[in-house]
A and B are shown apart, each in its own frame.
Chain A
Amino acid sequence: NAGVTQTPKFRVLKTGQSMTLLCAQDMNHEYMYWYRQDPGMGLRLIHYSVGEGTTAKGEVPDGYNVSRLKKQNFLLGLESAAPSQTSVYFCASSYGSRTGEAFFGQGTRLTVV
């Protein structure tokens, strides 16, 4: 049982480049989330999805887009990367709302130079 899998694990981008981070979960969860974690800080919610075909903005959505075309996948896109987007990105999924027992992926370390 893989749980939540993120790809890639590491990436270096030049300013202005674009990329997509993939999150896949095999637990049939309805809810999926993308967070970023900066040094010495907790996680901040970027976007989330409450089901296939739905997305919504979180606390820090600017500069990111997401898509949930399939229930098991949640994609995070950066159209024009900026150094301020250097961070560790975590995807998570949960079986229901109002639950803290979300399952997290291992993270993607992104550096924008």
Chain B
Amino acid sequence: GESVGLHLPTLSVQEGDNSIINCAYSNSASDYFIWYKQESGKGPQFIIDIRSNMDKRQGQRVTVLLNKTVKHLSLQIAATQPGDSAVYFCAENPDNYQLIWGAGTKLIIKP
């Protein structure tokens, strides 16, 4: 079936550098995408979302880019901090109620 997946399962980044987490999706009908952050032992936490009529959206230290041509999403985190250590999930929302989640990328911050 349709699925959302991630290119890299683990990403190690030096503290202070920028992080880029990538995600591929395959459901061409999806028009809404979300990034979540999940810290160890906690539930997922919303970071940022983007609709398909946009190709870029910025939040506080985070930017999401959407390339519909190649069905690719990325999450950019500026000036990565130790508190950014977590597993990051992209998810697509093909209908009103269901989210299809990718497998996740673990972000490790090196001091």
The chain A residues found within 8 Å of chain B, CB to CB, are 4, 31, 33, 40-45, 48, 50, 56, 58-59, 90, 92, 97-107
Alpha-carbon distance A41/B9, docked complex (angstroms)? 10
The distance from the CB of A104 to the nearest CB of chain B, in whole angstroms, is 3
What is the bound-complex CA distance between A35 and B15, given in angstroms?
A: 33
**Interface set of B (CB-CB < 8 Å, partner A):** 4, 9, 32-34, 36, 41-46, 49, 89, 91, 93, 96-104
Contact yes or no, B42 A100, CB < 8 A:
no
The distance from the CB of A92 to the nearest CB of chain B, in whole angstroms, is 7
Contact B44 A104 (CB under 8 A): yes
Q: Check B101 against A106 for contact (C-beta < 8 Å).
A: no
* A107 contacts across to B, CB distance below 8 A: 41-43
Distance A74 CA – B85 CA, assembled complex (angstroms): 31
Q: Is the interface of A mostly helix, strand, loop or mixed?
A: loop
Number of A-B residue pairs at CB separation under 8 A = 66
A106 CB contacts on chain B under 8 angstroms: 41-43
Contact status A92-B43, CB under 8 Å: yes
Which chain B residues border A44 with CB–CB below 8 Å? 101
Closest-by-CB residue of B relative to A6 is B43
Q: Is the CB of B49 within 8 A of A100?
A: yes
19 interchain pairs (CB within 8 A)?
Answer: A4-B43, A40-B103, A42-B89, A42-B103, A43-B44, A43-B89, A43-B91, A45-B97, A48-B97, A50-B97, A92-B43, A97-B97, A98-B93, A100-B46, A101-B46, A102-B46, A102-B99, A104-B45, A107-B41
Output the least CB separation between B59 and chain A (Å): 12
Among A41, A56, A101, A105, the residue within 8 A (CB) of B43 is A105
> Bound state CA distance, A99 and B102, in angstroms?
17
The docked-state distance in angstroms from the alpha carbon of A106 to that of B97 is 21
What distance in Å separates the Cβ of A24 from its nearest Cβ neighbour in chain B? 14
**Chain A residues whose C-beta falls within 8 Å of the C-beta of B89 in the assembled complex:** 42-43
With both chains docked as a complex, state the minimum distance between the C-beta of B101 and any C-beta of chain A, in angstroms.
3
How far apart are B12's CB and chain A's nearest CB, in angstroms? 18
